[in-house]
Amino acid sequence: MIVVVTPTHPDDWFTVAAESAPDTPTLMVSGQRTLANVRRVAQATARAGKRLRPHTKTHKMLELARWQLDNGAAGLQVAKLGEAEVMLDSGTPDLLVAYPIVGAAKMPRLNSLAARTRLTVSLDSLVVAEGISRALDPDNGIEVLIEVDTGLSRLGVMPEQAAELAAAVAGLPGLAVAGVLTHEGQVGTQLQIGGLLEDLVSAAVAKMAVAVAGLRRIGISEPMVSMGSTPSWRQLLDHDEVSEVRPGLYVFHDMNSVRAGSATLAEVAAVVAATVVSVSRARHEFVIDAGSKSIGNEPRVLGELTSYGYLPDADAHVVRVSEEHGVVAASQTLPAVGDRLVVVPNHVCPVVNLHDAATVMQEDGTQTEWRVAARGLSR
Ligand SMILES: Cc1ncc(COP(=O)(O)O)c(C=O)c1O
């Protein structure tokens, strides 16, 4: 089943963001909505007695990382060392690099991070652990989370294999096995095609429980169980087995979030403001100055329609993109050249990575600029 969202206009932030963008295309962020999103997750996680270690790959901004820490995040997560090097300046007491670190060029940087903060890495093979252990300065220690595949089929060992890998890693100098980690990203994908949230989350937790039982058998009595995605964080709090949640997208949300039922349009806090640069009466289409270099290039097939982003004020979709052009199929009256609109991206994380900075609109109407400080740092 394909869920086609035809949302009603939630309030006027989208209009205000379009009108007050300093120029276009611009990544516009609602400070108010972002802070509400940050606090909602932090408060619920604290109430449930779990740790929150948000993934900062969505925003890559130090100011927002500090908001997350100030509101109760126990630490931060990144994918890459370059992001970790930036996020250290947030003052985080704890950093998780949730990515297998491979290659000699990375080892001095890993050592220097380990010397400066409590560092955890996730991995799914002994060869990765051996590479890290061999390169680690004797003064440095790193915690390891064994990555388990709970259904995404990306990284991770099968739940039954976690104990064997944990035992081998625990024997390596400098490394301490802290527990198990998964990213149950399949939950969001399945929700968009009609899956049931509770069933999907329970299935992922059950797989983690198998891995945990294995770790206990080898003497790791209190393993950390780290799980996380935006569609699943709330349900994970109901599971005693889970110790930590790691959502990322929740700070901004996007059309993926809306289609998965994880957010409403009223919670979407980052959009791309664009200007209409051409109107075609013949095709009943118009062109905005935001193409794949501003709104990304992740199409979603919605029945008959392929959407590259949703324009809430026009209730219309970008149906084709080239680098600097977004072609919008008008659903209502055509706008005029010069009109401004915002695009809610399908997937906001890579979109943020396309922009040097975001214009953040604060509650009092003022605007500040936040640099996407970890932009492009994929090494
Ligand atoms: C390893 C890992 N953890 C956590 C997350 C956060 O998930 P979400 O983007 O759904 O919030 C991701 C997202 O890609 C991830 O790859």
β-strand 340-343 against 270-280: which pairing, if any?
Answer: antiparallel
- Mean pLDDT, to the nearest integer, of 167-184? 98
- Same domain for 356 and 299: yes
CATH of the domain at 37: 3.20.20.10
Query: For the chain, give me the number of helices (H) and strands (E)?
Result: 13, 19
Assess if residue 334 is contained within a domain: yes
Give residue 5's pLDDT.
43
Residue 310 pairs in a beta bridge with 317, 344
- Same domain for 122 and 137: yes
Average pLDDT, the chain: 95
Please compute, for residue 128, the number of CA atoms within 13 A of its CA located in the half-sphere on the CB side.
Answer: 19
Give residue 281's pLDDT.
97
Assess if residue 256 is contained within a domain: no
- Same domain for 157 and 301: no
Q: Quote the DSSP letter at residue 344.
A: B
Give residue 193's pLDDT.
87
Q: Considering the entire predicted model, what is its pTM?
A: 0.95
Pocket of ligand 1 (CB under 6 A): 55, 98, 183, 185, 188, 228-230, 246-250
- Same domain for 271 and 236: no
Distance (Å) from CA 312 to ligand 1 centroid: 26
The residue from 231, 251, 271 where one domain ends is 251
Per-residue burial over 38-58, b = 16 or more CB atoms within 10 Å of its CB, e = otherwise: beebbeebeebebbbbbbbbb
- Same domain for 112 and 88: yes
Distance (Å) from CA 335 to ligand 1 centroid: 37
- Same domain for 274 and 238: no
Give residue 183's pLDDT.
98
Per-residue pLDDT band at 6 (split at 50, 70, 90): very low
- Mean pLDDT, to the nearest integer, of 359-376? 94
**CA 275 to mean position of chain CA atoms:** 27
Q: Percent of the chain beyond pLDDT 70?
A: 97
Question: Which two structure tokens, joined as six digits, stand for 26?
Answer: 């611009």
For residues 237 and 232, what is the distance between their CA atoms, to the nearest angstrom?
9
pLDDT tens, position by position, 138-152: 999 999 999 999 999
Assess if residue 3 is contained within a domain: no
CATH of the domain at 316: 2.40.37.20
The residue from 251, 274, 305 where one domain ends is 251
**Atom number of ligand 1 nearest to Cα 246:** 4
What's the structural domain count of the chain?
A: 2
Query: If you take atom 1 of ligand 1, which residue's CA is the nearest one?
Result: 183
- Same domain for 294 and 229: no
The residue from 226, 251, 276 where one domain ends is 251
Cα dist from 333 to 19, 186, 327, 330, whole Å: 19, 38, 15, 7
Per-residue pLDDT band at 3 (split at 50, 70, 90): very low
- Same domain for 334 and 293: yes
Give residue 132's pLDDT.
98
For residues 125 and 102, what is the distance between their CA atoms, to the nearest angstrom?
11
Among left, alpha and beta (phi > 0; psi -120 to 50; other), residue 351 is: alpha
- Mean pLDDT, to the nearest integer, of 93-110? 97
> Residues 286, 278: contact at Cβ < 8 Å?
yes
β-strand 367-371 against 300-302: which pairing, if any?
Answer: unpaired
pLDDT tens, position by position, 307-340: 999 999 999 999 999 999 999 999 889 999 999 9
**Atom number of ligand 1 nearest to Cα 247:** 11
pLDDT tens, position by position, 207-266: 999 999 999 999 999 999 999 999 999 999 999 999 999 999 999 999 999 999 999 999
Crossing angle of helices 107-116 and 126-135, in 10° steps, is: 70
pLDDT tens, position by position, 189-203: 999 888 999 999 999
**Atom number of ligand 1 nearest to Cα 122:** 1
Assess if residue 4 is contained within a domain: no
> Residues 289, 277: contact at Cβ < 8 Å?
yes
- Same domain for 324 and 207: no
For residues 120 and 177, what is the distance between their CA atoms, to the nearest angstrom?
9
> Residues 20, 338: contact at Cβ < 8 Å?
no
The residue segments making up the domain with residue 146 are: 32-251
Residue bearing tokens 């399945």: 190
Q: Kindly tell me if the per-residue pLDDT of 8 is higher than 50.
A: no
Distance (Å) from CA 179 to ligand 1 centroid: 18
Distance (Å) from CA 305 to ligand 1 centroid: 27
Assess if residue 377 is contained within a domain: no
Distance (Å) from CA 294 to ligand 1 centroid: 22
Give residue 11's pLDDT.
64
Residue bearing tokens 């349009």: 265
Assess if residue 257 is contained within a domain: no
Q: Percent of the chain beyond pLDDT 90?
A: 94
Burial class (CB in 10 A: 0-12, 13-18, 19+), 11: exposed
Assess if residue 104 is contained within a domain: yes
Among the listed residues 148, 142, 134, 147, the one whose alpha carbon sits nearest the alpha carbon of residue 100 = 147
Query: If you take atom 7 of ligand 1, which residue's CA is the nearest one?
Result: 229
pLDDT tens, position by position, 70-95: 999 999 999 999 999 999 999 999 99
Per-residue pLDDT band at 9 (split at 50, 70, 90): very low
Which residue among 183, 225, 232 has the greatest number of ligand 1 atoms within 8 angstroms of its CB, and so is best to mutate?
Answer: 183
- Same domain for 289 and 222: no
Q: What is the DSSP string of 26-79?
A: EEEEEHHHHHHHHHHHHHHHHHTT-EE--BTTTT--HHHHHHHHHTT-S-EEES
Assess if residue 160 is contained within a domain: yes
**Atom number of ligand 1 nearest to Cα 248:** 11
- Same domain for 294 and 209: no
**Atom number of ligand 1 nearest to Cα 155:** 1
- Same domain for 220 and 281: no
